[in-house]
């Protein structure tokens, strides 16, 4: 039997995922819990990517300005953003929008009503750790090389949205250093 993307996905109630996330944070604490949750998200990213490709194939012609394709890399940036936003919203990730900063090559993904921060009670380390890992794997599959992801804003910390910056590791490390005030230190 051939395994398809949809056979590798299951529906889990959001309260179950949220409770699991809170429990991992409580048991492992701090950076170990964050690493564990990101790795868990990363582990599923290629399956989410395969489901997205399948969803693109199944998308009815006429829903988009471009023909149906299973290769996200064949879409214009605008069409990719619209279609991926639709896919993630329908899959329960939240209301997703894409943008980019052409001056430095950073892609930005904003999520309003992110599943991971709703009723956030993660304690001292709020953040969309599972989502961060999933996005790194998902966009790495699209790019064909490792993509680093930094959550620059989090609704769990009081922001209006969760904002993720995506790019190569050097660029995202520079962004992190700039945000944390460590740029230029040795």
pTM of the model: 0.84
pLDDT at 89 over 70: yes
In this prediction, residue 46 carries a pLDDT of 93
Within-domain flag for 96: yes
Confidence of residue 65 (pLDDT cuts 50, 70, 90): low
Looking up residue 127, the CATH number of its domain turns out to be 3.30.1380.20
Confidence of residue 49 (pLDDT cuts 50, 70, 90): very high
Within-domain flag for 44: yes
Within-domain flag for 106: yes
pLDDT in tens, 117-150: 876 555 556 789 999 999 999 999 999 999 999 9
Containing structural domain, residue 130: 13-180
Within-domain flag for 176: yes
Kindly report which listed range (70-84, 97-111, 116-130, 167-181) carries the lowest average pLDDT score.
116-130
In this prediction, residue 186 carries a pLDDT of 44
In this prediction, residue 1 carries a pLDDT of 41
pLDDT > 70: percent of the chain: 83
Number of domains in the chain: 1
Alpha-carbon distance 33 to 37, whole Å? 6
Within-domain flag for 173: yes
Average pLDDT, the chain: 84
Within-domain flag for 146: yes
Within-domain flag for 79: yes
Within-domain flag for 5: no
Alpha-carbon distance 183 to 172, whole Å? 12
In this prediction, residue 62 carries a pLDDT of 55
pLDDT at 79 over 80: yes
């Amino acid at each position: 039997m051939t395994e398809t993307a949809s056979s590798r996905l299951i529906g889990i109630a959001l309260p179950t995922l949220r409770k699991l996330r809170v429990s991992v944070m409580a048991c492992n604490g701090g950076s170990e819990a964050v690493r564990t949750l990101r790795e868990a998200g990363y582990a599923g990213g290629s399956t989410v990517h395969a489901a997205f490709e399948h969803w693109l194939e199944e998308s009815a012609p006429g829903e988009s300005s471009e023909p149906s394709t299973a290769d996200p890399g064949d879409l214009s940036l605008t069409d990719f953003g619209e279609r991926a936003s639709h896919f993630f919203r329908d899959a329960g990730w939240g209301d997703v929008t894409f943008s980019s900063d052409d001056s430095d090559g950073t892609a930005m993904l904003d999520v309003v009503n992110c599943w991971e921060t709703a009723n956030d009670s993660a304690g001292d380390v709020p953040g969309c750790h599972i989502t961060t890992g999933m996005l790194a794997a998902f966009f790495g599959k699209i790019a064909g090389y490792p993509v680093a992801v930094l959550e620059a804003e989090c609704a769990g910390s009081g922001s209006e949205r969760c904002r993720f910056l995506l790019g190569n590791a050097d660029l995202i490390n520079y962004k992190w250093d700039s945000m944390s005030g460590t740029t230029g230190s040795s």
